[in-house]
Copies of this chain bind each other. A is one copy, B any other.
Amino acid sequence: MPEYFPEVSEPIQYAGPKSNKALAFKHYNPKKKILGKTMAEHLKFSVCYWHTFMSTGSDPFGPGTMLRTYNEPEDPMEQAKATMDAAFEFFSKLGVGYWCFHDHDIAPEGETLAESNRNIDAMVKLAKKHQRATGVKLLWGTSNLFSNRRFMAGAATNPSPEVYAYAASKVKKAIEVTKELGGAGYVFWGGREGYDTLLNTDMERELDHLGRFLGQAVEYKEKIGFKGQFYIEPKPKEPTKHQYDFDAAACHAFLQKYDLVDHFKLNIESNHATLAAHTFIHELEYAAANDMLGSVDANRGDLLIGWDTDQFPTDIRECTLAMYIILRAGGFKTGGLNFDAKVRRQSIDTVDLFHAHIGAMDAFARGLENAAKLLSSKKLEKFIQKRYAGWDKGLGAKIESGAMDFEALESYTLEHGEPKVQSGRQEMLENILNEYL
């Protein structure tokens, strides 16, 4: 088997913060224990197949810039196999425990559904072999329901029921192979489930179809005994003008309406959060507060740029706050940190893939360490506890218990007069956070 990443001759090692080696972890020490678990167990890093191995730097203004040896075979299946060999070489050299894929990342689409499925089967067989050999596991699988021309107007929300049927067929297969590969979850990202213009759209009917589709997926999952977690991944727009899974709250509304809320959790992506005019941290917090926090697509956007830049996460403050919420919510169960991120178009060498992932893993390792210390200090939690202490007894407890109606509350106010107000201490709390960065 050829070596696809010869510039990295052996697995990336932890070398500590003072190391001058670019191709080494300075903070991510997989076996280091933090709050009773290893870093690797906490962080559950995953490499995404699509950006890392399938994309070559094209953008709307130019084709790919990255020349990969695994793209050299002309036959699509040969290319797919070389790519998968490369992928597992990369996972091993990088030292991550998980990967994620879309059906047609790993296998080329055929002339017919049957051929496509045969291609998938062949590649899944190879993937199983590699998984066994390397110990790398599947964090989640998914089906690409947005690239092919047939999905241009959506998959489950397509005006044509034949496209709905085609999408169902693809998802059926993708759930099956995710099960086959021992995947811990399955993601629904509704890339074109939305609209480009309301002038040609029946929103209510489309939403009903989407509700039905996901309900059928749940039925099929249960029928075949797939135990992995289903996730919806919110994104507000791009490629469509407006996607139905706009943000965590929109997914929450949708899942409640179609009685699916017990069957799905959310896969929160940083850059999707900010495209929806939220912070990443807000979306995590909203998910946690509503028991919907499942998995994370770890990347970063550029807040001055209005499209999904899918950059590797490097912001220590953001990584710290994200890990703080995740730890506080009990850590990942089925999910993990999947790098849904791509190197920049000018980062044309394979070594850039290593720099990118190493930097991101170090950033989240720092985030984990900072968050664990901050959580252990209880500085923020105590502040919050004290701030809301009025609800734990007296008037607040009575209100929470349902003992005070509007008339009782008015009597209370008439008697007690103007409430005391307290500083929110935002700046002090920001300083405390900075101490941990």
Contacts and interface: CB of A to CB of B under 8 A. Distances in A.
Contacts of A434: 314, 316, 359, 362-363
Given A161-B396, A166-B418, 20 more contacts: A26-B435, A112-B417, A112-B418, A150-B418, A159-B391, A159-B422, A162-B419, A163-B421, A198-B285, A200-B383, A200-B425, A208-B400, A212-B400, A252-B253, A252-B257, A277-B304, A347-B424, A359-B427, A362-B431, A362-B434
23 contacts: A22-B431, A59-B239, A63-B147, A112-B417, A161-B390, A161-B395, A162-B416, A198-B282, A199-B433, A202-B387, A203-B285, A219-B405, A249-B249, A252-B257, A253-B253, A257-B290, A316-B316, A316-B317, A316-B437, A344-B426, A346-B423, A352-B425, A359-B430
Interface stretch (A81-89, A91-99, A168-176): A168-176
Contact of A160 (B171, B356, B420): B420
Contacts of A423: 346-349, 351-352
A216 interface: yes
B424 A344 contact: yes
A384 interface: yes
B166 A419 contact: yes
Contact of A345 (B152, B246, B247, B432): B152
A238 B160 CA distance: 34
Nearest to A246: B249
A45 B252 CA distance: 34
A113 B413 contact: yes
Contact of A161 (B246, B306, B399): B399
A428 interface: yes
A55 B252 CA distance: 38
A236 B435 CA distance: 31
B197 A429 contact: yes
A27 B435 CA distance: 10
A130 interface: no
Interface string A326-366: 00000000000000000111111101100110110011000
A241 interface: yes
Contacts of A163: 419, 421
A54 B164 CA distance: 31
Contacts of A285: 198, 203
B113 A414 contact: yes
Q: Which of A151, A220, A274, A286 has the most CB of B within 10 A?
A: A286
Interface string A393-415: 01110011010111101101110
Contact of A289 (B153, B162, B191, B207): B207
A416 B163 CA distance: 11
A98 B314 CA distance: 35
Contacts of A38: none
A239 B416 CA distance: 28
